[in-house]
Every structure is written in structure tokens, then in C-alpha cells.
Structure 1
Amino acid sequence: MTNRMILNETSYHGKGAILSIPTEIKTRRYKRVAVVTDKSLMELGIATKVTSILEASGIAFKVYDGIVPNPTIQNVKDGVEFIKNYNADAIVAIGGGSPQDTAKAIGIIIANPEFNDVLSLEGVANTRNPSLPILAVPTTSGTAAEVTINYVITDEGEHRKFVCVDPHDIPLVAFVDSDMMMGMPSSLAAATGMDAMTHAIEGYITNGAWEMTDMLHIRAIEIIGRSLRDSVKGGEKGREEMALAQYIAGMGFSNVGLGLVHGMAHPLSAWYNIPHGVACAALLPTVMKYNKEFTGEKYRDIAIALKADGAENMPLEEVRDAACDAIVQLSKDVGIPSTISELGVKESDLPQIAEDALRDVCTPGNPRKTTAKEIVELYQKLM
């Protein structure tokens, strides 16, 4: 069997990483850069940390800040027109998953205009050309969109999210600068941090996992387990460690896939506009328990990484429960909602939402095969 790894061509890590953006732009001889971000990041002075560097370096740029949470097909189309009109030769994507995902879709369509309906990008699209070059600057410590070959767009008309998987969309360069993440409110640090934990755990137990990705995911679980609480409190060390951990998790899951947590989270976000990280965080403990008998010894590794007492010598059933309990406790400690009814989910919608989850591109990676009926039951446990 052949396993494939796709990563950024270059990545910078640590405080001050964004100072290397002008060097990368000039070395690569880009002349006109489109900055893709959202209005709140501009207003809060977070995205302007980057635009100020571009301006001081004499780099021509124009800002498209029309991105919304859970970006839509129209968002992408508007961005494509913006970049065409500006005639940009590169994108600087600043933000969490929403700006990063939108930039990927825009960059792919600019390079492959036959996909300009956006919907045809769903799944594994047969694009021919690499994206317009993307230089990615994350501002949250969770999505790892700056290092993945995946992006998610919302089809508002059908109340669904669709996942696109394309090696051509990976950002060329990533600048993972913890200073860009210091502005996160605690709730966002918690939600995105638990999203990163979900990436690491699902990537570790997914059907496509192998030795190299296992190495990445178990290390990410360890770092997140020790750092997320401090990150949520605004601790500088916690934010810096989470910036690295979420990237490490992204290096892994981007290449092997995810599972049922993401399959169930995507329709919740599409139906109720729930932030993706919050949906994943609320679902993770319950789906972990559902999967536990189909994971061999991997929950022992997770329990050890999360410092569960006695995990090395516990009987298998007990150590699986210990791993689940550690995640439940972490979720409680960082303030994740314990029910999805708190997020506005209606029980009457669950059968249709479950059908959407069953069809989601992430669900087949789950170690336990599932059915729509079982997915409804999982949602009901969280009501």
C-alpha cells in the first residue's frame, strides 16, 4: 500500500513569523496581492498587523473582507470577481477556517475557471491547475486550514455544507504566528482548540491512519491536552503551544481523513449556523464513546497522552473509558456546551440532519460503520 503526504512548500512558526511575509512575496516576484479576510479582523486590528507590514514593505495589495462565518457559494463567487478585477497574482489569507477556506475555493476557481459554479468542487474535484498562490496566516488555533488540502463551503439553498478535497488547494506558504492568535476571546480559543483535538483524535483512529500520521496526531493530542486550558485563559504559552499543536494535527488529518464527529458537525453548522469548532467540540465525547470498541489499543495511547492515571496498565475497557472521560473533563474545563439543544438544534430536524451526516465525505473514515438511525440516536443523546 502506498501512503501520500502533502504539506506546505514552506512554513514559518513562532512569534514574528508574519515578518517573513514580504520576503516570501518579493522572492516569488508577486506584484499584486489580494488580502482575503473578514471585517471583524480588520476592525479589531488583527488583520491590519499584516497589511501594515505589506504597506511598509511597498507591496501593492487590496483587501477583500467580505468573508462570513461558514462561508457561502456567493462569498466565493464575490471573491473570484474581486481578484479578477484587481488582477492579483497571489492571495494572503488572514483568519480562521472561514477566510482560509474561502481563499482556497477562490484560488482554485481562478486557476480552474471551469469550476466557477463552486458546487462542482464538492468531493475530490478533478482540477488540473494548482491554486493561485496562497500565503496563509491563521488567527485561530484549531482549523489548521493553512496546512490542509480540504475546505468547506455552505450551500445555503440546500442547508448543507460540502467538503472539497484537492491537493491543488494547499497554501504555498504558512505563517503560524501565535501573536496573531492572542486576540481570540476565550470562547473561540476553546471551540477552535477542541476542533484541533477532534482533528487529532479522529485522524488517529480513522481508517486511513498510518505510522507517520499516528506520530503527528498523538503528539498533537499530548500538546493540546496540556495547553488548551491555559490558552482559553489567554496564557501566552498556551496560545503558542496551541498554534503549533493545531498545525501538527493538520499535517496528519489532511492526508488521512477524519470521521463521524466531522460528518455530524457539518450539517449542524449548515442548518443552524453553529460555529464549526463548537459543533465538533459538543459532539466529540459522545462519538468517542460510540467508537471505542472499534479502536484497538489506540484509546490507551490517547489516555496516556492525556495523562490519565494508570493508563499504561489498565484493562482495555477501562482505559478506553479513561480516554473518553479525559475528553469530557477537558470539554467541561474550557466551557464547551454539553448539549446541542443549547445550540438551537431541534429534535424534529434530526432525521434529515442524520441523512446529511451519513452522506458527508468525512463519515466513511470512521472506524465504526454507522447508519442514519444510529446517527439520530447519537444526536438525541446530546439534546
Structure 2
Amino acid sequence: MYTKKINQFNLGPDLLFGVGAISHVPEIINREGFKRVMIVCDEGIEKAQILDQVLEVIRESNVQCTCNVFSNVEANPTTDTIEAGMHVLRSFQPDLLIGLGGGSPIDVAKALGMLATNGGLITDYEGIDRFSNEPIPLLAIPTTAGTGSEVTVFTVITDPVTEYKLTVGGSKLAPKWAIIDPSLTITLPSKLTAATGLDALVHAIESYTSTMSHALTETLALDAIRIISSNLRQAVFNGENISARSKMLYGSLIAGIAFNNTRLGNVHAMSHPLSAMYNVPHGVANSVLLPHIMEFNLPAAPEKFLDIAKAMGEHIDPNQSIMANAYKAIEAVKQLSNDIHIPKDFSEYKIRESDIVPMAEDAMKSGNIAVNPRKTTIGDIISLYKKSIGSTSFETVSIED
């Protein structure tokens, strides 16, 4: 368990977790003396009246602050969205940002806060620690159990011109506070509950198998796998099951803390080009890719996949080989995906054969490839894309590794 390797561990923001935690928003505003609060969300949050809940909590507390709302955030937010948000931010001049919603609004809030104090365009900051000034303080309030963005130091934004998803990261980018209230996830539709929940499972599995993992991250990731796999079905098929909703948020949270310290793997490297070029929802992209990449990675880390199988409740037969038992992790993921009606492939998105190589080239630019448990070539990525596409038939693509 203990090695000579030096491991860094980022614990993330101050956390408030539990039903009713949303009531503590005014406490943070008062304690820190904030006067101008900009809330970043999407139209779904408005329609579900979650935005109204937050605004009402602030109004009823008699907090002496002014609030403004930027709600034009879409799934897979783009550089255009960031520019529109910056126009609102410059006019309003907030001293606190609140990212309210799934990963997209929280990621946009991170980007806006960083650009407000560092200037330039979001495309100027691709990579890690490319900015120096502290962003505007951010309070993250997740309404999905999936992305873990409330505790991570990354924001992912799509450039529609280049059809490329860029990642900006840095220790200063993490939210200062996160309020995690399971009651805010009750109205999340079952389809989104399924996709975001499996996204959280991907985070846990990729963190656990990452070459950067260590004892602390592995403990969190394995616990997240256990919690998510044993509660996702219940959350999907009975959204009002507050116990399942709470456990899913907790599983997503600790998976986020884990991968914040380890990065991820091939699933995320490959999902970003699919989202950038075909607008495949991030959770769906990850969910469809996961079993294919687990099968690819298993020979490089069979002991870890055996642990995953155990965490997902699979029976481990002492009379079978480690490989046979480890493969049960893949079967468990396939069964879970099938049970909650995740698509088996990307056939509905009509992926063009001509885009496979460009997507693979973009995937290879991701830092997640470097920490994947099995060494990966561009030829491997092309093959994995083809396996996940679906009914489209492809000619053989020849490319040097």
C-alpha cells in the first residue's frame, strides 16, 4: 500500500452535505460580505424551479445583496456561451459566482470567474495552471449526481470552430464552497439520472485504475463504485427515493475527489471528441464507451478489475482464474447499463467514418491517455471508436501507431 512515490492529495472546497443544505447559502454570503451575486444555471434549472428556491432562500434571509442570473448554459457549453456570460459579468461586476446545476453550469461559472480576473479568452488557458490570478469566488450547488465538478479543479469547454473540447485546470479553479442538497435532485428526469449516474461510475472506475492512483484515492474510488452501483437503479426508477438520491450524490462527490487527484483515462479522452463533434451528452458518451475500454484495459490491471467486480456485488468464484473473475466487472457494468436503458452504441448519432481518425487524433491530445492503465496508441483508439459506433460498417483504416 505504501510506496516511495510522493502523492499529492487535494481535498477540495468546504462542503455542506444533506437535505436542506441549500438553506446555508445566505450564511456564506453574509459571512464573506458578498454584495453582488451572479448565478449561473441553465433553462432546465429555471423550469424545475430550483433557481426560484435559491433566490427565495436568499430573499427570505434578508441578505443585503443584489442577484443577477445568467441562464443561457447548454449541455457541452461552448466558447460562445463563455463570451455571452462574460458580457453579463462585466456589466454586473459580481463578487460571488454561484454555479447551480449539473457540470455544465458549474464549469461555465469556473471559466467566467477565472477570465474575470485574468483576462483574455478561455482558449488562451488550455492546460494546467496557465493562469495566475485568483478567480472570483465560486459556490457550487450541484443538481445532478454525476460530474463531480463541485469539487474538481477542471473546466471543460467546447470550441465550435475547431470542434474541440479543451480542458482548463488549476488548483485555484476549484469552488471555494459546495452545497450538496439531495432534495435538489428529486426532479431530475430518469434519463438524465441514468446518464449522469453512470458518468459518476466512470469517474470512480477510471480513477481507481489510473496509473496515478494511490491508497487514499483508491479507497474513495472503490467506495464510490460500491455506492453508485448499488443505488443508481433505485434513483432512476424512483426519483423521489431520497435515500438513493443522497447516496448517489455522495458517491459522485467522493468519485470527484478521487479523480481530481488522479485524472481519468481513455473513456474521457474519447468522449470529449464525440461531444464536441456530435454533441453527444457527456454522460451518454462515457456510458457507451465504458465497457469497451474496460475490456481493453483489463489485461493491464486484472487485480483492480477483480476489486471492481467485488465492489459491484459480483460473486467471485475461487475455482476460476483471476481473469475470469475480473471480467465480471465488465459484465456488471453492461448489466447496469442495460437495466437503466443506456444506449448500447452511438448509432443514433450517425457518426461518419471520415470523422473517426480526426476524433482519435483529438483523443490522443488528452492528458488522460497518459494515465490510462494500458498503454494506448492511436490505432487502439480508432478500434475502440469502431466497436462503440454501432451498426455502421467501416473499411479498414491503416495508420501508423
Same fold, judged at TM 0.5 (above): yes
Q: 2:317 and 2:271 mapped to 1: Cα distance? A: 29
Tell me what 2:314 maps to: 308
Deviates more, 1:80-89 or 1:307-316: 307-316
- Taking the TM superposition and a 5 Å limit, the aligned residue runs for 1:206-285 are 206-233=210-237, 234=239, 235-285=241-291
- Measured in 1, the distance between the counterparts of 2:314 and 2:122 equals 45
Query: CA separation in 2, counterparts of 1:175 and 1:275?
Result: 24
> Which SS does the other structure have where 1:158 is aligned?
coil
Give the equivalent residue in structure 2 for 1:100.
Answer: 106
1:14 aligns with 2:18: yes
Opposite residue 47 of structure 1, the aligned amino acid is L
Matches within 5 A, 1:129-140: 129-140=133-144
Distance 1:355 1:108, change over 3 A: same
- The answer to whether residue 88 in structure 2 is matched with residue 82 in structure 1 is yes
Evaluate the alpha carbon distance shift between residue 8 and residue 48 of structure 1 in structure 2; reply closer, same or farther with a 3 A threshold. farther
3-state secondary structure, aligned to 1:12: strand
1:6, distance to aligned residue in structure 2 (A)? 2.0
Check conservation: 1:203, 1:209, Cα contact below 8 A.
yes
The answer to whether the 8 A contact 1:257-1:362 is kept is yes
Aligned amino acid, residue 191 of structure 1? A
Report SS of the residue matched to 1:162.
strand
Q: Partners in 1 of 2:372 and 2:358 — Cα distance?
A: 20
Alpha-carbon distance in structure 2 between the residues aligned to 1:224 and 1:312: 26
1:342 Cα deviation after fit: 2.5
Mapping of 1:1-383 within 5 angstroms?
Answer: 1-58=5-62, 59-113=65-119, 116-233=120-237, 234=239, 235-310=241-316, 314-382=320-388, 383=390
Q: 1:149 is matched by which residue type in structure 2?
A: V
Alignment size in residue pairs = 381
Task: Give the conservation status (yes or no) of the 8 Å contact 2:268–2:286.
Answer: yes
Q: Which amino acid aligns with 1:105?
A: A
Deviations, residues 296-338 of structure 1 (Å, cap 9, x unaligned): 4111111110110125774211112111111111111111100
What secondary structure sits across from 1:379 in the alignment? helix
The change in CA–CA distance for 1:68 and 1:312 in structure 2 (over 3 A counts) is farther
Structure 1 stretches lacking a partner, 5+ long? none
SS in 1 for 2:150: helix
Gaps of 5+ in 2: 391-401
Residue pair 2:13, 2:174 contacting (<8 A) in 1 also: no
Q: Distance in 2 between matches of 1:83 and 1:241?
A: 35
Q: Whole-Å Cα distance in 1 between the matches of residues 339 and 76 of structure 2?
A: 26
Q: Does the CA contact (< 8 Å) of 1:197 and 1:221 recur in 2?
A: yes
Preserved contact between residue 193 and residue 242 of structure 1 (Cα < 8 Å): yes
Identity %: 37
Note the C-alpha offset of 1:280: 0.2
Measured in 1, the distance between the counterparts of 2:220 and 2:197 equals: 16
Could you tell me the TM-score, scaled by structure 2's length? 0.92
RMSD, aligned α-carbons: 1.3
1:53 positional shift:
0.9
Q: Mean alpha-carbon deviation: is it higher for 245-254 or for 60-69?
A: 60-69
Is this contact kept in 2: 1:311–1:322, CA < 8 A? no
Following TM superposition, by how much is the alpha carbon of 1:38 offset from its aligned partner in structure 2, in angstroms?
1.1
Instruction: Measure how far apart 1:216 and its partner are.
Output: 0.4
